[in-house]
C-alpha cells in the first residue's frame, strides 16, 4: 500500500515546496519514525524510501510548517501540523492533502 501527500499554500495560491514531512506509526503507545521527506516543487511527497510500507494501524504525518513560513519571512500560529489517520485497508492508496495558511489549515482524505 502506498502513501502520498500534497501541500498547498492557500494564501499564496501555490504549492508549498520544501515542507519537511515526517511519517510516524503508533506502536502500542509510542510513535515510531517510519520515514522523512520534503515536498517537491509541486508541493508533493509521492516517494518514500523503498523499504517502508504503509501497514494497517494508526499513522501520522507531521508537517514542518514553522520552518516553511520562517523561510519566507512569514509568521505562523502553527509551527507544526500533525495529521493522524487510521489505515484499515492495506490494498488502498492513501493520500493526505494539506491546505495551509499561516493561521489555519485544512486536510481531508484524498484519493
CA distances from 19 to 1, 66, 80, 81, 93 (A): 23, 9, 10, 11, 22
Residue pLDDT, tens place only, 50-63:
778 888 999 999 99
Average per-residue pLDDT for the chain: 94
- Any idea what the Cα angle at residue 67 is, between residues 62 and 68, rounded to 5°? 90
Q: Any bridge partners for residue 45, and if so which?
A: 5
- Residue 110 per-residue DSSP state: B
Query: What is the set of domains in the chain, with CATH numbers?
Result: 3-107 (2.60.40.180)
Q: pTM of the entire structure? A: 0.94
Amino acid at each position: 500500500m502506498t502513501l502520498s501527500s500534497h501541500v498547498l499554500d492557500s494564501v499564496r495560491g501555490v504549492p508549498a515546496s520544501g515542507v519537511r514531512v515526517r511519517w510516524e506509526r503508533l506502536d502500542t503507545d509510542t510513535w515510531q519514525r517510519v520515514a522523512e521527506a520534503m515536498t517537491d516543487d509541486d508541493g508533493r511527497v509521492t516517494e518514500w524510501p523503498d523499504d517502508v510500507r504503509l501497514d494497517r494501524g494508526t499513522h501520522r504525518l507531521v508537517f514542518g510548517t514553522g520552518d516553511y513560513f520562517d523561510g519566507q519571512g512569514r509568521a505562523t500560529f502553527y509551527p507544526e501540523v500533525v495529521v493522524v489517520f487510521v489505515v484499515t485497508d492495506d490494498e488502498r492508496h492513501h493520500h493526505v492533502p494539506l491546505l495551509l495558511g499561516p493561521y489555519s489549515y485544512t486536510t481531508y482524505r484524498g484519493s
